[in-house]
Protein backbone atom coordinates (compact mmCIF):
# COMPACT_ATOMS: atom_id res chain seq x y z
CA UNK A 1 0.00 0.00 0.00
CA UNK A 2 1.28 3.47 -0.90
CA UNK A 3 0.57 6.89 0.64
CA UNK A 4 -0.33 9.52 -1.94
CA UNK A 5 -1.06 13.21 -1.62
CA UNK A 6 -3.22 14.68 -4.39
CA UNK A 7 -3.57 18.45 -4.62
CA UNK A 8 -6.76 19.91 -6.01
CA UNK A 9 -8.67 16.74 -5.23
CA UNK A 10 -12.05 18.11 -4.22
CA UNK A 11 -13.45 17.56 -7.72
CA UNK A 12 -12.52 16.64 -11.30
CA UNK A 13 -9.48 14.53 -12.14
CA UNK A 14 -8.00 14.87 -8.65
CA UNK A 15 -11.08 13.47 -6.95
CA UNK A 16 -11.37 10.69 -9.52
CA UNK A 17 -7.71 9.77 -8.95
CA UNK A 18 -8.33 9.69 -5.22
CA UNK A 19 -11.30 7.38 -5.62
CA UNK A 20 -9.35 5.05 -7.89
CA UNK A 21 -6.42 4.87 -5.46
CA UNK A 22 -8.74 4.23 -2.51
CA UNK A 23 -10.40 1.43 -4.49
CA UNK A 24 -6.93 -0.09 -4.93
CA UNK A 25 -6.44 0.07 -1.13
CA UNK A 26 -3.87 2.87 -1.13
CA UNK A 27 -3.90 5.59 1.50
CA UNK A 28 -4.92 8.93 0.02
CA UNK A 29 -4.44 12.35 1.56
CA UNK A 30 -6.59 14.77 -0.38
CA UNK A 31 -6.46 18.55 -0.58
CA UNK A 32 -9.20 21.16 -0.66
CA UNK A 33 -9.20 24.94 -0.71
CA UNK A 34 -11.48 25.41 2.31
CA UNK A 35 -13.35 23.48 4.98
CA UNK A 36 -16.65 23.21 3.09
CA UNK A 37 -14.90 21.66 0.10
CA UNK A 38 -12.91 19.44 2.43
CA UNK A 39 -16.12 18.07 3.97
CA UNK A 40 -17.49 17.27 0.52
CA UNK A 41 -14.20 15.60 -0.42
CA UNK A 42 -14.23 13.39 2.68
CA UNK A 43 -17.74 12.31 1.80
CA UNK A 44 -16.85 11.67 -1.85
CA UNK A 45 -13.91 9.49 -0.79
CA UNK A 46 -16.10 7.47 1.51
CA UNK A 47 -14.43 8.82 4.62
CA UNK A 48 -11.09 7.30 3.62
CA UNK A 49 -7.90 9.21 4.32
CA UNK A 50 -7.33 12.78 5.44
CA UNK A 51 -7.88 16.13 3.75
CA UNK A 52 -5.42 19.00 4.10
CA UNK A 53 -6.78 22.50 3.62
CA UNK A 54 -5.22 25.58 2.07
CA UNK A 55 -5.51 28.12 -0.73
CA UNK A 56 -2.76 27.39 -3.26
CA UNK A 57 -3.09 30.83 -4.82
CA UNK A 58 -1.23 32.42 -1.89
CA UNK A 59 2.24 31.86 -0.47
CA UNK A 60 0.76 31.55 3.02
CA UNK A 61 -1.73 28.95 1.79
CA UNK A 62 1.00 26.97 0.03
CA UNK A 63 3.02 26.84 3.24
CA UNK A 64 -0.07 25.81 5.23
CA UNK A 65 -0.77 22.92 2.86
CA UNK A 66 2.84 21.75 3.01
CA UNK A 67 2.89 21.90 6.83
CA UNK A 68 -0.40 20.02 7.14
CA UNK A 69 0.71 17.43 4.60
CA UNK A 70 4.02 16.81 6.39
CA UNK A 71 2.15 16.40 9.67
CA UNK A 72 0.38 13.34 8.26
CA UNK A 73 3.66 11.53 7.52
CA UNK A 74 5.89 10.90 4.54
CA UNK A 75 4.33 10.19 1.15
CA UNK A 76 5.35 7.63 -1.41
CA UNK A 77 4.02 9.89 -4.17
CA UNK A 78 2.61 13.36 -4.66
CA UNK A 79 0.30 14.17 -7.57
CA UNK A 80 0.35 17.89 -8.30
CA UNK A 81 -3.10 18.16 -9.83
CA UNK A 82 -4.40 21.55 -8.63
CA UNK A 83 -4.78 24.04 -11.47
CA UNK A 84 -6.87 26.81 -12.94
CA UNK A 85 -7.91 26.75 -16.56
CA UNK A 86 -7.43 28.60 -19.81
CA UNK A 87 -10.53 30.79 -19.53
CA UNK A 88 -9.20 32.75 -16.55
CA UNK A 89 -9.30 36.51 -16.71
CA UNK A 90 -6.23 38.27 -15.39
CA UNK A 91 -6.38 38.13 -11.60
CA UNK A 92 -3.59 39.34 -9.32
CA UNK A 93 -3.23 37.48 -6.02
CA UNK A 94 -2.59 39.08 -2.64
CA UNK A 95 1.12 38.39 -3.26
CA UNK A 96 1.02 40.43 -6.48
CA UNK A 97 1.24 37.37 -8.73
CA UNK A 98 -0.76 36.23 -11.71
CA UNK A 99 -3.35 33.79 -10.37
CA UNK A 100 -2.62 31.30 -13.17
CA UNK A 101 1.11 31.36 -12.45
CA UNK A 102 0.61 31.14 -8.69
CA UNK A 103 -1.63 28.07 -8.75
CA UNK A 104 -0.29 26.24 -11.81
CA UNK A 105 3.45 26.81 -11.38
CA UNK A 106 4.49 28.35 -8.09
CA UNK A 107 2.31 26.14 -5.88
CA UNK A 108 3.77 22.85 -7.20
CA UNK A 109 7.24 24.39 -6.88
CA UNK A 110 6.70 25.47 -3.26
CA UNK A 111 5.03 22.22 -2.25
CA UNK A 112 7.86 20.24 -3.85
CA UNK A 113 10.32 22.31 -1.83
CA UNK A 114 8.50 22.14 1.52
CA UNK A 115 6.96 18.65 1.55
CA UNK A 116 9.32 15.86 2.55
CA UNK A 117 10.51 14.47 -0.76
CA UNK A 118 8.56 11.37 -1.84
CA UNK A 119 9.77 8.65 -4.19
CA UNK A 120 7.53 9.78 -7.04
CA UNK A 121 6.28 13.12 -8.28
CA UNK A 122 3.54 13.50 -10.87
CA UNK A 123 2.90 16.94 -12.34
CA UNK A 124 -0.27 17.56 -14.32
CA UNK A 125 0.52 19.39 -17.54
CA UNK A 126 -1.55 19.64 -20.72
CA UNK A 127 -1.29 19.16 -24.45
CA UNK A 128 -1.60 22.93 -24.59
CA UNK A 129 1.93 23.19 -23.17
CA UNK A 130 3.18 22.79 -26.74
CA UNK A 131 1.96 26.33 -27.43
CA UNK A 132 3.73 27.64 -24.34
CA UNK A 133 6.19 30.52 -24.47
CA UNK A 134 9.53 29.37 -22.99
CA UNK A 135 10.69 32.90 -22.17
CA UNK A 136 10.58 33.89 -18.51
CA UNK A 137 10.81 37.66 -18.83
CA UNK A 138 7.13 38.38 -18.02
CA UNK A 139 5.92 35.54 -15.81
CA UNK A 140 3.25 37.71 -14.20
CA UNK A 141 1.88 39.19 -17.44
CA UNK A 142 2.71 42.69 -16.24
CA UNK A 143 3.71 43.94 -19.71
CA UNK A 144 1.83 41.75 -22.19
CA UNK A 145 -1.81 42.00 -23.17
CA UNK A 146 -3.59 39.27 -21.22
CA UNK A 147 -4.51 36.00 -22.92
CA UNK A 148 -5.97 33.28 -20.72
CA UNK A 149 -5.18 30.44 -23.15
CA UNK A 150 -1.59 31.63 -23.57
CA UNK A 151 -1.06 32.10 -19.84
CA UNK A 152 -2.39 28.57 -19.29
CA UNK A 153 -0.19 27.12 -22.05
CA UNK A 154 2.85 28.88 -20.58
CA UNK A 155 2.08 27.56 -17.11
CA UNK A 156 1.74 24.00 -18.33
CA UNK A 157 5.08 24.24 -20.15
CA UNK A 158 6.72 25.55 -16.98
CA UNK A 159 5.30 22.78 -14.80
CA UNK A 160 6.54 20.18 -17.31
CA UNK A 161 9.97 21.82 -17.12
CA UNK A 162 9.75 21.65 -13.31
CA UNK A 163 9.12 17.90 -13.51
CA UNK A 164 12.10 17.47 -15.82
CA UNK A 165 14.31 19.68 -13.64
CA UNK A 166 13.66 17.52 -10.59
CA UNK A 167 14.34 14.40 -12.63
CA UNK A 168 17.69 15.87 -13.71
CA UNK A 169 18.75 17.15 -10.30
CA UNK A 170 17.41 14.30 -8.15
CA UNK A 171 18.31 10.99 -9.77
CA UNK A 172 16.71 8.98 -6.96
CA UNK A 173 13.23 10.28 -7.90
CA UNK A 174 10.69 9.34 -10.50
CA UNK A 175 9.44 12.76 -11.60
CA UNK A 176 7.19 13.05 -14.66
CA UNK A 177 4.60 15.25 -16.35
CA UNK A 178 1.21 14.09 -17.61
CA UNK A 179 -1.18 15.32 -20.26
CA UNK A 180 -4.55 13.92 -19.14
CA UNK A 181 -6.07 14.90 -22.47
CA UNK A 182 -8.95 17.22 -23.21
CA UNK A 183 -11.39 15.41 -20.97
CA UNK A 184 -14.99 16.16 -19.93
CA UNK A 185 -14.43 17.68 -16.51
CA UNK A 186 -15.61 21.04 -15.18
CA UNK A 187 -12.46 22.57 -16.64
CA UNK A 188 -12.55 20.66 -19.93
CA UNK A 189 -16.28 21.04 -20.56
CA UNK A 190 -18.92 18.41 -21.38
CA UNK A 191 -17.96 18.19 -25.06
CA UNK A 192 -14.30 17.31 -24.50
CA UNK A 193 -13.41 14.33 -26.71
CA UNK A 194 -10.64 12.47 -24.86
CA UNK A 195 -10.88 9.41 -22.60
CA UNK A 196 -11.58 10.56 -19.04
CA UNK A 197 -10.73 7.20 -17.49
CA UNK A 198 -7.31 7.13 -19.17
CA UNK A 199 -6.65 10.70 -18.04
CA UNK A 200 -7.08 9.51 -14.47
CA UNK A 201 -5.42 6.11 -14.90
CA UNK A 202 -2.16 7.58 -16.16
CA UNK A 203 -1.47 9.73 -13.12
CA UNK A 204 -2.41 6.89 -10.77
CA UNK A 205 -0.21 4.45 -12.72
CA UNK A 206 2.78 6.78 -12.48
CA UNK A 207 2.18 7.27 -8.75
CA UNK A 208 2.00 3.63 -7.67
CA UNK A 209 2.67 1.11 -10.44
CA UNK A 210 5.63 -1.26 -10.35
CA UNK A 211 5.55 -1.56 -14.15
CA UNK A 212 8.86 -0.70 -15.77
CA UNK A 213 7.08 1.82 -17.95
CA UNK A 214 6.01 3.83 -14.91
CA UNK A 215 9.39 3.69 -13.17
CA UNK A 216 11.09 6.29 -15.33
CA UNK A 217 11.89 9.95 -14.81
CA UNK A 218 11.84 13.18 -16.77
CA UNK A 219 9.26 12.00 -19.29
CA UNK A 220 5.98 13.40 -20.62
CA UNK A 221 3.05 10.97 -20.66
CA UNK A 222 -0.30 10.72 -22.42
CA UNK A 223 -2.51 7.69 -21.79
CA UNK A 224 0.28 5.65 -20.18
CA UNK A 225 2.66 6.25 -23.09
CA UNK A 226 5.67 8.52 -23.29
CA UNK A 227 5.06 11.15 -25.96
CA UNK A 228 7.01 14.08 -27.34
CA UNK A 229 6.88 17.36 -25.46
CA UNK A 230 7.84 20.95 -26.19
CA UNK A 231 11.66 20.92 -26.53
CA UNK A 232 11.93 23.58 -23.84
CA UNK A 233 10.76 21.04 -21.24
CA UNK A 234 14.20 19.43 -21.46
CA UNK A 235 16.23 22.64 -21.78
CA UNK A 236 18.52 22.63 -18.72
CA UNK A 237 19.05 26.39 -18.91
CA UNK A 238 15.30 27.07 -18.91
CA UNK A 239 14.78 24.59 -16.08
CA UNK A 240 17.38 26.22 -13.88
CA UNK A 241 16.22 29.73 -14.74
CA UNK A 242 12.68 28.73 -13.80
CA UNK A 243 13.86 27.22 -10.51
CA UNK A 244 15.76 30.42 -9.75
CA UNK A 245 12.76 32.62 -10.61
CA UNK A 246 10.45 30.58 -8.38
CA UNK A 247 12.97 30.59 -5.55
CA UNK A 248 13.26 34.37 -5.79
CA UNK A 249 9.47 34.85 -5.75
CA UNK A 250 8.69 32.33 -3.02
CA UNK A 251 11.77 32.71 -0.86
CA UNK A 252 12.09 28.93 -0.84
CA UNK A 253 14.83 26.96 -2.58
CA UNK A 254 13.95 23.59 -4.12
CA UNK A 255 17.35 22.60 -5.46
CA UNK A 256 20.50 23.43 -3.49
CA UNK A 257 23.05 25.48 -5.36
Residues with a catalytic annotation lie at 152, 156
Q: How far apart are CA 163 and CA 37, in angstroms?
A: 28
How far apart CA 41 and CA 31 sit, in angstroms, is 8
- Helices (H), ranges, 5-91: 12-23, 35-44, 59-71
Q: Which helix (H) or strand (E) holds 159?
A: helix 148-169
CB atoms within 10 A of CB 60: 11
Q: Cα 212 from chain centroid?
A: 23
| Distance of alpha carbon 17 from alpha carbon 135, whole angstroms | 32
Q: How far apart are CA 245 and CA 248, in angstroms?
A: 5
Pairing state between β 3-6 and 225-226: unpaired
Residues in the chain: 257
Separation CA 88–CA 9 (nearest Å): 20
Amino acid sequence: MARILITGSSDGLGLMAGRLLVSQHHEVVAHARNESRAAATRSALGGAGEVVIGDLSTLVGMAEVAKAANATGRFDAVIHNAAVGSNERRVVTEDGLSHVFAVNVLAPYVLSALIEMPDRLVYMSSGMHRAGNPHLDDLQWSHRRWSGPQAYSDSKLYVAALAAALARHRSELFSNAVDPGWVPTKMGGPGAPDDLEMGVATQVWLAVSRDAGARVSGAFFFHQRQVGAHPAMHDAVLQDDLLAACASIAGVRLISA
